[in-house]
């Protein structure tokens, strides 16, 4: 009699012959700079500024000593509020050198959010740009400062306060910095990154040297980085994508950080890749869509590109194929993760097939574990079945800053981080993200995953981008609505026309009832679609408040 073999569980661990790094961010930078002192470390394309590794470490050390002279030391929180500028990166490494905890502040924050973060993190010094786009940071800081009693010092870029910090550092005693570095451990908290906070105030994910240095290093390893690579970092530094997958992946390999501009602009991103002969380009899918759609795209020489990373939100298959075919990024990688896991948990490899790279978020990263569990029972589901993705290992945050109750909601007793994402693991360990647990739409008792419908809608000849949400419905509980961006010159897209396109290709309950054509989607500064905001706007548009 044949025996029935039990299905393989949805669990995988990342085996690696390359050991974890055991040093601090500052120590790692010093070692790499000693190896490649004359290689480019940092290039700010828009301003024409550049640093070799020797010059970069000299400025980092001067700023670090300046912070020490200003009374900032190990464990003190230093906020940084600015778009992508060289000063942001210098501040990142200078604070790491002395063990101060860098508090990343979202460049789009308004007054109440700024005040909350400054107080919740206990920021003693705020390093800031004077303005960005329509935000006058200097004025906003002055407005909140009376309500932030712990904020002792404000230092502004392009201002005498910034110059003074450097001047004090250059005149300081290098032995004092060496002594400060000697007091640091790799497991010390070094960074607080606030999550998006779609409901209520954001939470501060607290990360160590060990967390983010290793994550940046292994992301870079899987991208094949060395000192010959030049990485155009378009996503904002305040987010893990920019400062970990970007800056730390580069500096841990001796590669060059290329900053195209302060904020995302498709033209300047393409210009920077061409002018600096970048080998790698980063972005969320909406950024790549904008670059590919730029009217002058074909005029830029992108022949230096070989790799890059698409991450931050689900990557449409059609966009991925164009990035490979039209941008020459044959080794482009998909990464999946979250702020709380430093961020990357899974990543595709350069030798993965095109199908793997357009339909999955890759396999578990080195030295990490992932599993897919039943959200109700917590038991690991068989491979091929959907459940909640969990991850464990060096990357999991220390916790939410001074919020142990919130930490306990997402990190269980066995140190598994519960992501809130729905996923399926196949027989080879590749993971596909099928949506957020909270984004799942239940229509008439049927579970509908927006990602599946969005992928199908990308095959419509007139749709450039599509986002599907659930809206209230008296009969079915929820109905489907698509927000769509159309190609220039496309005819009007009606619900009837879309239904005709979908009929026979999608199950009837997966066909959107409502269509809303837009020029742009509500987004966070990192390019993530804010479906919470879309759902609220949809209620108003459709008169569904009741």
Q: Is the pLDDT of residue 501 over 60?
A: yes
Residue 523: its pLDDT value, please? 85
pTM of the complete model: 0.86
Q: Is the pLDDT of residue 391 over 80?
A: yes
Mean pLDDT for 78-91 is 98
* Distance separating alpha carbons of residues 450 and 455, to the nearest angstrom: 9
Mean pLDDT for 294-312 is 95
Lowest-pLDDT range, 90-99, 363-372, 374-383? 374-383
Q: Is the pLDDT of residue 49 over 50?
A: yes
198: confidence class by pLDDT, cuts 50, 70, 90: very low
Longest dimension (CA), the chain: 84
Lowest-pLDDT range, 98-107, 493-502, 522-531? 522-531
4: confidence class by pLDDT, cuts 50, 70, 90: low
Q: Is the pLDDT of residue 151 over 50?
A: yes
Q: Is the pLDDT of residue 327 over 80?
A: yes
Report pLDDT digits (tens) over 86-103: 999 999 999 999 999 999
Mean pLDDT for 491-512 is 92
Domains in the chain with CATH codes: 439-542 (3.30.300.30)
145: confidence class by pLDDT, cuts 50, 70, 90: very high
Neighbours of 497 (CB within 10 A): 14
Q: What is the 3-state secondary structure of 491-537?
A: CCCCHHHHHHHHECCECHHHCCCEEEECCCCCECCCCCECHHHHHHH
Distances (CA, A) of 323 to 298, 349, 368: 13, 16, 28
Task: For residue 261, give the 3-state DSSP assignment.
Answer: coil
Q: Is the pLDDT of residue 422 over 50?
A: yes
Q: Is the pLDDT of residue 5 over 80?
A: no
H or E stretch at 119: helix 111-121
H or E stretch at 161: helix 160-170
Residue 244: its pLDDT value, please? 98
Lowest-pLDDT range, 130-144, 244-258, 305-319? 305-319
Q: Is the pLDDT of residue 525 over 80?
A: no
Percentage of residues in the chain with pLDDT exceeding 90?
82
The pair of structure tokens assigned to 521 is 């989607």
Q: Is the pLDDT of residue 437 over 90?
A: no
Cα distance between the two ends of the chain:
60
311: confidence class by pLDDT, cuts 50, 70, 90: confident
The torsion angles phi and psi of 115, rounded to 5 degrees, stand at -60, -40
Q: Is the pLDDT of residue 3 over 60?
A: no
Task: For residue 20, give the 3-state DSSP assignment.
Answer: coil
Q: Is the pLDDT of residue 183 over 90?
A: yes
Is there a contact between 448 and 440 (Cβ–Cβ < 8 Å)?
yes
376: confidence class by pLDDT, cuts 50, 70, 90: confident
Is there a contact between 311 and 339 (Cβ–Cβ < 8 Å)?
no
Distances (CA, A) of 293 to 162, 457, 465: 39, 18, 11
Task: For residue 189, give the 3-state DSSP assignment.
Answer: strand
Percentage of residues in the chain with pLDDT exceeding 70?
97
The pair of structure tokens assigned to 389 is 């993705």
Is there a contact between 482 and 516 (Cβ–Cβ < 8 Å)?
yes
Lowest-pLDDT range, 67-81, 120-134, 471-485? 471-485
Mean pLDDT for 63-84 is 98
Q: Is the pLDDT of residue 196 over 60?
A: yes
199: confidence class by pLDDT, cuts 50, 70, 90: very low
Mean pLDDT for 453-466 is 93
* Distance separating alpha carbons of residues 388 and 370, to the nearest angstrom: 10
Mean pLDDT for 213-224 is 98
H or E stretch at 484: strand 477-486
Report, in this order, helix, strand and coil percent for the chain, each rounded to 5.
35, 25, 40
Is there a contact between 523 and 530 (Cβ–Cβ < 8 Å)?
yes
Is there a contact between 327 and 300 (Cβ–Cβ < 8 Å)?
no
Sheet of 417-425, strand order: 11-13, 368-373, 387-393, 417-425, 431-436
Average pLDDT over the chain, rounded to whole?
Answer: 93
Residue with tokens 């010390």: 188
The pair of structure tokens assigned to 116 is 């909350």
């Amino acid at each position: 009699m044949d025996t029935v073999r039990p299905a393989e569980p949805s669990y995988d661990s990342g085996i690696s012959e390359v050991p974890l790094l055991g040093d601090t961010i500052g120590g790692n930078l010093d070692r790499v700079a000693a190896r490649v002192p004359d290689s480019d470390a940092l290039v700010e394309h828009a301003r024409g500024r550049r640093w070799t590794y020797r010059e970069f470490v000299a400025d980092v050390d001067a700023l670090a000593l300046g912070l020490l002279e200003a009374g900032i030391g190990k464990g003190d929180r230093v906020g940084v509020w600015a778009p992508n500028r060289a000063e942001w990166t210098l501040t990142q490494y200078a604070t790491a050198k002395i063990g101060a905890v860098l508090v990343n502040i979202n460049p789009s924050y308004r007054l109440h959010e700024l005040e909350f973060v400054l107080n919740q993190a206990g920021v003693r010094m705020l390093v800031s740009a004077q303005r960005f786009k329509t935000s006058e940071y200097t004025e906003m800081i002055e407005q909140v400062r009376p309500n932030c009693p712990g904020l002792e010092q404000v230092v502004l870029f392009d201002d005498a306060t910034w110059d003074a910090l450097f001047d004090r550092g250059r005149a300081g005693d290098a032995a004092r910095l060496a002594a400060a570095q000697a007091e640091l451990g790799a497991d010390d908290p070094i960074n607080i990154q606030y999550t998006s906070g779609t409901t209520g105030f954001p939470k501060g994910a607290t990360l160590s040297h060990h967390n983010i240095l290793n994550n940046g290093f292994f992301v870079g390893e899987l991208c094949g980085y060395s000192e010959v690579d030049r990485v155009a970092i378009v996503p904002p530094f305040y987010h893990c994508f920019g400062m970990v997958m970007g800056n730390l992946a580069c500096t841990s390999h001796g590669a060059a950080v290329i900053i195209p501009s302060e904020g995302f602009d498709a033209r300047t991103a393409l210009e920077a890749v061409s002018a600096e002969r970048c080998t790698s380009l980063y972005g969320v899918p909406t950024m790549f869509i904008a670059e590919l759609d730029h009217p002058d795209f074909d005029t830029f020489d992108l022949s230096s590109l070989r790799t890059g990373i698409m991450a931050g939100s689900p990557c449409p298959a059609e966009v991925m194929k164009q990035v490979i075919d039209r941008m020459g990024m044959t080794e482009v990688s998909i990464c999946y993760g979250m702020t709380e896991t430093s961020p990357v948990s899974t990543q595709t490899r350069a030798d993965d097939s095109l199908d793997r790279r357009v339909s999955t978020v890759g396999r578990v990263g080195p030295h990490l574990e992932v599993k897919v569990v039943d959200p109700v029972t917590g038991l690991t589901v068989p491979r091929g079945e959907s459940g909640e993705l969990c991850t464990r290992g060096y990357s999991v945050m220390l916790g939410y800053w001074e919020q142990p109750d919130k930490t306990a909601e997402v990190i269980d007793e066995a140190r598994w981080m519960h992501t809130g994402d729905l996923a399926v693991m196949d027989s080879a360990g590749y993971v596909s993200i099928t949506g957020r647990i909270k984004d799942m739409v239940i229509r008439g008792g049927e579970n509908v995953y927006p990602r599946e419908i969005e992928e199908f809608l990308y095959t419509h000849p007139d749709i450039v981008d599509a986002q599907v949400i659930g809206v209230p419905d008296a009969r079915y509980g929820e109905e489907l609505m698509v927000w769509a961006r159309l190609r220039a010159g496309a005819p009007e897209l009606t619900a009837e026309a879309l239904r005709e396109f979908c009929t026979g290709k999608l199950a009837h309950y997966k066909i959107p009832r409502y269509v809303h054509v837009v020029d742009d989607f509500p987004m966070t500064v990192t390019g993530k679609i804010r479906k919470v905001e879309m759902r609220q706007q949809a209620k108003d548009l459709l008169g569904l408040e009741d």
